[in-house]
Copies of this chain bind each other. A is one copy, B any other.
Amino acid sequence: MVVIRQDLATRDWTIFSTERSKRPKDFRHEEGKLGSKGKCKDEYVESCPFCKGNEHMTPRELFSIREDGEWLVRVVLNKYPALEIKNFCGPVTRHIKGPYLSMDGIGSHEVIIESPRHNDDLATMDRRNLENVLLTYWHRSVDLSKNEDYQLIIIFRNHGIEAGTSLEHPHSQLIATPFVPGYVRNKLYESQRYFDNFGRCPYCDMIDYELKDRERLVYEDEKYVAFTPYASVVPYNILVLPKKHQANFVEASEEEIRDLASVFKVVLAKLYYLLDNPDYNYVIDSSPTDKSGERHYHWHIEILPRLTTRAGFEIGSGVTINFIFPEDCARHLREVKV
**Chain A contacts to B: CB under 8 angstroms:** 5-18, 20-22, 24, 27-29, 31, 33-34, 36-37, 82, 98-100, 152, 154, 156-158, 161-165, 173, 175, 177, 181-184, 186-187, 190-191, 194, 202-203, 205-206, 209, 213, 229-233, 235-236, 274-276, 278-279, 281-285, 298, 302, 304-305, 307, 309-313, 315-325, 328, 332
CA–CA, A70 to B131, complex, Å? Answer: 67
CA–CA, A20 to B152, complex, Å? Answer: 39
A231–B318 contact, CB under 8 A? no
Question: Known interface pairs A14-B232, A183-B317, A318-B12. Does A312 touch B278 (Cβ–Cβ under 8 Å)?
Answer: no
Q: Which residue of B lies closest to A304 (CB)?
A: B315
Measured between beta carbons, the chain B residues less than 8 angstroms from A232 are 14
Q: How many copies altogether?
A: 2
For the complex formed, measure the closest distance between the CB of A202 and the CB atoms of chain B, giving whole angstroms: 4
B276–A28 contact, CB under 8 A? yes
Q: Which residue of B lies closest to A37 (CB)?
A: B29
CA–CA, A213 to B8, complex, Å? Answer: 16
A7–B316 contact, CB under 8 A? no
Q: Which residue of B lies closest to A307 (CB)?
A: B27
Question: Known interface pairs A276-B29, A315-B283. Does A13 touch B98 (Cβ–Cβ under 8 Å)?
Answer: no
Measured between beta carbons, the chain B residues less than 8 angstroms from A203 are 9
A36–B31 contact, CB under 8 A? yes
Measured between beta carbons, the chain B residues less than 8 angstroms from A14 are 231-233, 319-322
A231–B316 contact, CB under 8 A? no
A317–B152 contact, CB under 8 A? yes
Question: Known interface pairs A230-B5, A323-B22. Does A311 touch B13 (Cβ–Cβ under 8 Å)?
Answer: no
Q: Which residue of B lies closest to A205 (CB)?
A: B99
B313–A82 contact, CB under 8 A? yes
A213–B98 contact, CB under 8 A? yes
Measured between beta carbons, the chain B residues less than 8 angstroms from A82 are 313, 321
The 8 closest A-B pairs by CB, nearest first: A183-B318, A156-B312, A164-B311, A283-B316, A164-B309, A9-B202, A7-B231, A281-B312
Measured between beta carbons, the chain B residues less than 8 angstroms from A205 are 8, 99
For the complex formed, measure the closest distance between the CB of A214 and the CB atoms of chain B, giving whole angstroms: 12
* Contact partner, A8, options B29, B194, B322, B332, Cβ 8 Å: B194
CA–CA, A107 to B8, complex, Å? Answer: 32
Measured between beta carbons, the chain B residues less than 8 angstroms from A27 are 235-236, 275, 278, 305, 307
A321–B36 contact, CB under 8 A? no
